[in-house]
Structure 1
Amino acid sequence: MDVSMTVWVLTILGLSALIAVDFFIGRKPHDVSIKEAGIWTIVWVVLAVLFGVGLLVAGESQASGEFFAGFITEKSLSVDNLFVFVLIMAKFAVPSHLQQRVLLIGVLIALVLRAIFIAAGAAIIASFSWVFYIFGAFLIYTAWKLIQEARADDEEEEFEENRLLKSVEKKFGVADKYHGTKLFIKVNGKRVMTPLMVVMLAIGTTDVLFALDSIPAIFGLTQDPYIVFTANAFALMGLRQLYFLIGGLLKKLVHLSYGLSVILGFIGVKLVLHALHESGVHVPEISIPFSLAVICGVLVITTITSLIASKKQSEREAAEAAAGGAQGDADKDKDSVEA
């Protein structure tokens, strides 16, 4: 897709305007209700759909298909980010009314960092076609790691700060409590960061780790930097509302890691086939419509099986609790008789 500088500028300005509206509406710290989160989640999804349809109407049918495949993939991978966001919020004991501000700024930091990753990835791909082998192998390896982690025994996870975050905290210092929406305050004449600033940096920089698999994944679906950027932008900008909407549902998505591993493995194979094709080897290439069908199918199946498994687990726990209560009552009756 041939995108002029004018289209790039208009797109960035349009996305910036949407972010500004989102910030203006949520500028006052407050507890985000399910209704508010639901409405804004729908708004962002609708805007993404309109953008994809707009590409189709403009005669860019392939670009439209690539955008939808990329958007769905990035959105599903972003849901995995939410698990870490929950851990970060818990570690820093972020007040509920400040969480929406943390996520807004944190996601903006992540978007800027991803834009840098995308620009670097596009430049590397343009110069070295063999990089598709590396991307493909990395995604297949990541898929295998996800399966291994999913099969491992569940343990209580805890967020660990990365080196960059620790060095920033050491250099600037951190206040001992939150001060509303302030990011810096003065303590004994010295300017220090507030915990709110630390959490924002944690959200933004931690996303870089997720970009290590999500950026190669979307380059496996399209090599168009414009589509890669817009798909990432729409996926990330609705992440804040999605956090509040499905926060309680995250624990029920017990098979999400399996689904994401299948998607990453599939795209990894697609990248390797593409690399072989570029090298002159006659191998079949996976089309975008087929990729889109596989991605959507895996996500639907994963969600359904997760909810079924979670429901059965809840029923087992309820039955065990009832059995335990009945046993306790029986023991009390026995003690009474003996007395």
Structure 2
Amino acid sequence: MSVSAWVWIATLVALVAVLAVDLLIIGRRPHEPSVKESSRWVALYVGLAVAFGVGVWITAGGRYAGEFYTGWLTEYSLSVDNLFVFVIIMGRFAVPRQFQQKVLLIGIVLALLMRGLFIAAGAALISQFSWVFYIFGAFLVYTAINLLKEGQNDEDDFKENILIRWSKKLLPVSSSFGDGRMTVLTQTGKRLFTPLLIVTIAIGTTDLLFALDSIPAIFGITKEPYLVFTANIFALMGLRQLYFLLGGLLERLVYLNYGLAAVLAFIGVKLFLEALHTNSLSFINGGDGVHWAPEIPIWLSLLVIIGTLGIATVASLAKSARDKKRDPQPAQHP
């Protein structure tokens, strides 16, 4: 797939424009978006992703369109898993609802920057060393095993890393969020950081950890840097509105971790098979490709991912419905 420089430039300009609109909306009127407002934005971003895939189909063919849709769906599902941790972070630091949009948008911008760097590094590695797929595949299987061990999402999914602990200890932080800015001026004239900065650091470092999973996963679906980048863009751009739209529904997706574990394990095996097929390591089959290693077509990958996530979602909602009938009183949380 050949992508000209002007297409890359146009894509980046469009991304900056969307972010600018988001910043203007939040900067002008910080608020908690309603379900109706969030639904419109999520529908817009999903519609744009579908339309973009159609454009890829028309200009580059069905194969690359299939790779985009499969990659976008995978990244979108992993982004939903991110929301569990975001909910925990917001609750842990008691961020007022009207300021959560700002934190999420900053987190999304940081995620786009970090993933852009990871995509560039991953593309460079793959172009030079095909054996890196062995590492990517093993890492995804390892991640899948960890997800299975974790089971359902809970408070243990988020642990304060050393950067967060260092920031809380050394930075002068006020006890109030003020008007939602990163700093506040006290009555004595002293400038303090607000807890919003600590929350932003928590969101940003969490995004960095999630990128370590998502980038190998998307490269297991397509090796085209442009498709990898755009799939990540469309998966992240509606994340802020999706956070408010799903709300309490996140707590009902109790089996999502298992579904994502299956997807990551599948992609990890796919990467390992592809590494065998294009093998260049001298200690494996004398440096020749292992011809019996099958190549999993993109249509099969798409069906497996949709089917796995669909089953996990339906099973989660069915279990939540059964639990609600069994215990109609909502659980009380301290």
> In the TM superposition, what are the counterparts of 1:43-58 in structure 2 within 5 Å?
43-58=44-59
Contact 1:172–1:191 (CA under 8 A) maintained in structure 2: no
> In the TM superposition, what are the counterparts of 1:243-322 in structure 2 within 5 Å?
243-279=243-279, 280-282=289-291, 283-318=293-328
Change (3 A) 1:24 1:285: same
More moved, 14-23 vs 104-113? 14-23
Match for 1:9: what amino acid?
I
Q: Within 2, Cα distance between the matches of 1:231 and 1:90?
A: 29
Match for 1:13: what amino acid?
V
Q: When the two structures are aligned, how many residues end up with a matched partner?
A: 319
Shift of residue 108 of structure 1? 0.8
Cross-structure match for 2:209: 209
Give the percent of matched residue pairs that are identical in Structure 1 and Structure 2.
Answer: 55
Contact 2:111–2:208 (CA under 8 A) maintained in structure 1: yes
3-state SS of paired residue (1:29): coil
Change (3 A) 1:198 1:155: closer
Shift of residue 62 of structure 1? 2.0
Shift of residue 205 of structure 1? 1.7
Contact 1:88–1:203 (CA under 8 A) maintained in structure 2: yes
Cα distance per residue 1:86-119 (max 9 Å; x no partner) = 0110111111111111111111111111111111
Shift of residue 155 of structure 1? 6.2
Q: Within 1, Cα distance between the matches of 2:172 and 2:161?
A: 16
Q: Within 2, Cα distance between the matches of 1:155 and 1:169?
A: 23
Contact 2:68–2:231 (CA under 8 A) maintained in structure 1: yes
Cα distance per residue 1:174-217 (max 9 Å; x no partner) = 22211213112345555432111221221122111111111100
Contact 1:109–1:205 (CA under 8 A) maintained in structure 2: no
Match for 1:70: what amino acid?
G
Q: Within 2, Cα distance between the matches of 1:183 and 1:276?
A: 50
Cross-structure match for 2:184: 185
Cross-structure match for 1:42: 43
3-state SS of paired residue (1:97): helix
Change (3 A) 1:156 1:118: closer
Contact 2:177–2:195 (CA under 8 A) maintained in structure 1: yes
Change (3 A) 1:161 1:190: farther
Gaps of 5+ in 1: 322-339
Q: Within 2, Cα distance between the matches of 1:21 and 1:246?
A: 22
Change (3 A) 1:159 1:262: closer
Contact 2:181–2:194 (CA under 8 A) maintained in structure 1: yes
Cα distance per residue 1:106-153 (max 9 Å; x no partner) = 1111111111111111111111111100110111111111112217xx
Q: Within 2, Cα distance between the matches of 1:206 and 1:112?
A: 14
Q: Within 2, Cα distance between the matches of 1:181 and 1:6?
A: 38
Q: Within 1, Cα distance between the matches of 2:235 and 2:212?
A: 16
Contact 1:122–1:223 (CA under 8 A) maintained in structure 2: yes
Shift of residue 278 of structure 1? 0.7
Higher Cα Rg, which structure: 1
> In the TM superposition, what are the counterparts of 1:1-339 in structure 2 within 5 Å?
1-27=1-27, 28-150=29-151, 156-157=155-156, 159-187=158-186, 191-279=191-279, 280-282=289-291, 283-318=293-328
Cα distance per residue 1:262-287 (max 9 Å; x no partner) = 10000001000110011111121011
Shift of residue 173 of structure 1? 2.3
Shift of residue 171 of structure 1? 4.6
3-state SS of paired residue (2:192): strand
Match for 2:308: what amino acid?
V
Match for 1:19: what amino acid?
L
Shift of residue 73 of structure 1? 0.1
More moved, 310-319 vs 75-84? 310-319
* TM-score, length of structure 1 as denominator length: 0.89
Contact 2:107–2:203 (CA under 8 A) maintained in structure 1: yes
* TM-score, length of structure 2 as denominator length: 0.90
Shift of residue 43 of structure 1? 0.5
Gaps of 5+ in 2: 280-288
Shift of residue 315 of structure 1? 1.2
Change (3 A) 1:319 1:101: closer
Q: Within 2, Cα distance between the matches of 1:97 and 1:156?
A: 23
Contact 1:106–1:200 (CA under 8 A) maintained in structure 2: yes
Cross-structure match for 1:334: none
Change (3 A) 1:173 1:124: farther
Match for 2:161: what amino acid?
N
Contact 2:174–2:193 (CA under 8 A) maintained in structure 1: yes
Q: Within 2, Cα distance between the matches of 1:158 and 1:268?
A: 22
Q: Within 1, Cα distance between the matches of 2:123 and 2:102?
A: 32
Shift of residue 172 of structure 1? 3.5
